Structure 1
Amino acid sequence: MVITYTKEKNFTPQQVEDLFLAVRWVVGKYPDRLHKALLNSSRVISAWDGDRLVGLIRLMDDSELVCFINYVLVHPDYHGRGIAGHLLEIVKEAYKSYLYINVMIGDSKNVPFYEKYGFTVKENSLPMQYRNVPKYTKR
């Protein structure tokens, strides 16, 4: 298995839907909106096994000082192969001139993973979110 990585946004709505639903992320239920959001992100780095999208990291930045990692996900069939870590290393290199690279960790059990790559939990800081997710209806 050779995983290739690209910053080209050459994925389809179906490919992102498959990946996001495989990790049980609700945004996968809105593939057209998700695809559009990814295309309009500052940067998306994706991981591929041939023509199969197996992972990606989504970034939003201010072009100078701060970068936000919004998604880091790898298809469950590919867990444990170093893909997420490699995506983080690519980001750290791409944004090495920035003062901050922030990540929104969806679950505190993932903290040790990010710490392994040099991230630290910011003291006295909590993530906050306003949810405006519409009720999902099957197509």
Structure 2
Amino acid sequence: MGLEYKTNECCDVKEVEEVFNKSGIRRPVGDTERIQRMIDNADEIITVRDGERLIGILRAITDYSYCCYISDIAVDKDYQGLGIGKELIRVLRERLGEEEVQYILTSAPKAVGFYEKIGFERADKAFVIKRKKN
């Protein structure tokens, strides 16, 4: 298994939808135009491929100086548990730095332990206005 991580590589919307499906992450798969906008408007995208096959993606929105919101971390279930999610975050942190930028995300209930294990702290003062359309 020769995994290759790339930063801001062009991704095909269909392969991103496939990774979302295979990872178990809840995203509007099937709404191709919306997924394409999600890709187009991300500030940072880190991908990981096994050969030609996209098996993981991290998508983030950032100002590059104070905060970075990690919108998506999705890894194909066949590859989960191999440290790929952790490596996607490491690559992002290496790009943006650790002195000034704070990393923020919301977690699915099943992933909370993963984020705590790799150094994220729970935030008890977060607020959200939920979207009307999933």
* 1:1-139 matched pairs, under 5 angstroms: 1-24=1-24, 25-96=26-97, 97-107=99-109, 109-122=110-123, 124-133=124-133
TM-score for the superposition, normalised by structure 2: 0.87
Describe the superposition over 1:48-88 as per-residue Cα deviations: whole angstroms up to 9, x where unpaired.
01111100111101231111111111011111111101101
Moved over 6 A (4+): none
Cα RMSD of the aligned pairs, angstroms, is 1.8
Calculate percent identity across the aligned residue pairs.
26
- Residue 45 of structure 1, CA deviation: 0.2
Query: Aligned residue pairs: how many?
Result: 132
Which whole-Å CA distance do the structure 2 matches of 1:38 and 1:132 have between them?
20
| Structure 1 gap segments, 5+ residues each | 135-139
Asked if structure 2 preserves the Cα contact closer than 8 Å seen for 1:88 and 1:117, the reply is no
Deviates most, 24-33 or 98-107: 24-33
Asked if structure 2 preserves the Cα contact closer than 8 Å seen for 1:65 and 1:100, the reply is yes
Structure 2 partner of 1:137: none
* AA of the residue aligned to 1:81: L
Which whole-Å CA distance do the structure 1 matches of 2:53 and 2:45 have between them?
16
SS in 1 for 2:10: coil
Which whole-Å CA distance do the structure 2 matches of 1:55 and 1:127 have between them?
28
Q: Which has the larger radius of gyration?
A: 1
* AA of the residue aligned to 1:45: I
**More RCO (CA 8 Å, sep 6+):** 2
| Structure 2 gap segments, 5+ residues each | none
TM-score for the superposition, normalised by structure 1: 0.84
SS in 2 for 1:27: coil
